[in-house]
Amino acid sequence: MILRDRPVQARFPHRGSKILLWPSAFTTVSARAERIVKYNPATLEPVGELDATSPDEIPRIIHKARAAQAGWAALPLEERREVLKRLQAHVAANIETISRTICEETGKPRMEAINADMMSALSATMYSVEKMPSLFRPRGTDFGKLSLMMRYLGRRSYIQPRPLGVIAIIAPWNYPFGIPFSQAVMAVAAGNAVVLKPSSETPFTGLELRKAFIAAGVPEDLVQVVIGSGSKVGNALASSNVDRVIFTGSTEVGRKIMAAAAQRLNPVTMELGGKDPMVVLADADLPRAAEAAAWGCYVNAGQTCVCIKRIYVHESVYQQFLDLFSEKASRIKLGYGWDDPEVGMGPLINASAVEDMEAQVARAIEQGGRVLFGGKRPNMKGHFFEPTAIVDAPQSSDIVQKETFGPIVAVLRFRTEEEAISMANDSSFALSGSVWTSDLGRGRAIAERMDGGTIHVNNVGYTFGLASTPWGGRKESGFGHTHGEEGFAELLEPHHVHVDKGRFARELWWHPYDQEGLELSRGLNDILFGGRYGRAAALLLRTRRRLKGR
């Protein structure tokens, strides 16, 4: 059965309601479409279910997005800015509704939906509205030492930034609104259309995103959502006729997406996994560092790409730090935080994530580690796992080297600053990290030597919410940027226009090739690049004559 121009119903059984979804959100539902059934991982209650998009529909969805993009990019800039201002107002006015969907799908505390998802979405919208006037401004090229000559020849170059076209966003479930929304709003601000594939763990939050854009008044097909599994729908999207794929997710899937995108040479931005180090020097403000660690290790139940996963503490303050850290972590209340503002940590996303944590703890012990606290699932309904710290695990062990997407941190000690930097950099990941000291000069010097897209001095992992700062990783944490000017640069084509007033009849390098052309070419290279000015005047006169065609 093919449903074409009819809205599709998604059920929210526990609310006893149904919602209508726009046809172009996942336009066609075939008889064999995947069915996505979503449960709240904290309460295990159903959230809703819906049919997936058929991968066969993706070319048509992109075609429609492309048509909408042409219309959107042709609108006057101020009109587009007004739409994004309305978008900001709409999201701000609907924080509770959107947060509720986020919390139901992920089980995360309400504080985290508001502070991380909603704030980063709103900050990116505000930043985009502010930046839009400068995004499309043409900028002249500086020819450097050749400037005088280019002026004499009557030539100039400039860059006219243009939208890329259609941006595919393949998103994870951990910040199911904040991540794709901030990427989508910047893409749209840069004049592009967006086709988003949310994680199949968080499809309803993905649909909330589209709803916000539509409410703000973007053209119907400018921001579309396709629903389904990564292997089917995500793969079809990455290998489709889009102009960039922004992928946020695991390194393993990143590799698959690069391979799929390579089929069409689609450029990719890769925001991948992390294993962030925290370096605590002897002169650090230890209570603040311990407080930061208790948040930075366990925010979103440790399911944050920039969660602290390795803590390196100077040996002189190691025990003191462990005591403070254990005390702060022990105060974190587990549960479902929609109705309880004191809940500090929600569940993991599903049962297999909990099993993975158990396996990682067992492996850490096998390799010499010791559980300082936590290490098991509590006696609770839902996919919970206790905040966990492992000590004594060697630097080479899996718990220190492999990604742990859950509430487990390894704590190690160091003797010298050099040793701390080298241990922090001894990782295949390089997403973010932090150094803690009361000597800011020393902190900066260490931060500048640590690997990662962002290194904080005396803070941890919050700059995703500051949309004006670039976001991106190195090594197996990915490449490219979202957010900041660097992020906008990846959403625009630096269209180069070169204008020649046509003062001369020909170029030195045009046909016919002959002995004179060869001598002049050699001589010019000597003057321009070799700094040899002998016979320069005569050579330039002869060149001028030749260019004039005499």
Which residues lie near ligand NAD (CB under 6 A)?
Answer: 170-174, 179, 197, 199-200, 229-231, 234-235, 238, 248-250, 253, 256-257, 260, 271-274, 305, 403, 405, 431, 473, 478
Would you tell me how many other CB atoms lie within 10 Å of the CB of residue 52?
20
Contact 332, 387 (CB under 8 A): yes
Q: Are strands 333-334 and 343-345 parallel, antiparallel or unpaired?
A: parallel
Residue whose pair of structure tokens reads 């090594």 in the numeric block? 475
The residue nearest ligand NAD at its CB is 230
Quote the tokens at residue 142.
């500086």
- Catalytic one among 271, 386, 403, 417? 271
Cα distance between residue 310 and residue 450, in whole Å: 14
Q: Does 297 participate in catalysis according to the annotation?
A: no
Would you tell me how many other CB atoms lie within 10 Å of the CB of residue 6?
9
Residue whose pair of structure tokens reads 């625009």 in the numeric block? 492
> Closest CB to ligand NAD among 299 and 420?
299
> Closest CB to ligand NAD among 199 and 463?
199
Environment class of 424 (CB within 10 Å of its CB; exposed 0-12, middle 13-18, buried 19+): buried
> Closest CB to ligand NAD among 204 and 405?
405
- Catalytic one among 305, 307, 386, 417? 305
Phi, psi for 133 (deg, rounded to 5):
-60, -30
> Closest CB to ligand NAD among 314 and 481?
481
Quote the tokens at residue 463.
């700059």
Cα distance between residue 239 and residue 399, in whole Å: 34
Shortest Cβ distance from residue 76 to ligand NAD (Å)?
Answer: 33
Using alpha carbons, list the distances in angstroms from residue 365 to 112, 398, 405.
31, 10, 18
Shortest Cβ distance from residue 217 to ligand NAD (Å)?
Answer: 27
Q: Does 307 participate in catalysis according to the annotation?
A: no
> Closest CB to ligand NAD among 230 and 443?
230
Shortest Cβ distance from residue 465 to ligand NAD (Å)?
Answer: 12
Closest-CA residue to 171 (of 186, 181, 159, 162): 181
Shortest Cβ distance from residue 10 to ligand NAD (Å)?
Answer: 18
User: What are the DSSP calls for 231-293, one per residue?
Assistant: IIIIHHHHTSS-SEEEEES-HHHHHHHHHHHHTTT--EEEE----EEEEE-TTS-HHHHHHHH
Shortest Cβ distance from residue 432 to ligand NAD (Å)?
Answer: 9
> Closest CB to ligand NAD among 245 and 289?
245
Active-site residue list: 271, 305
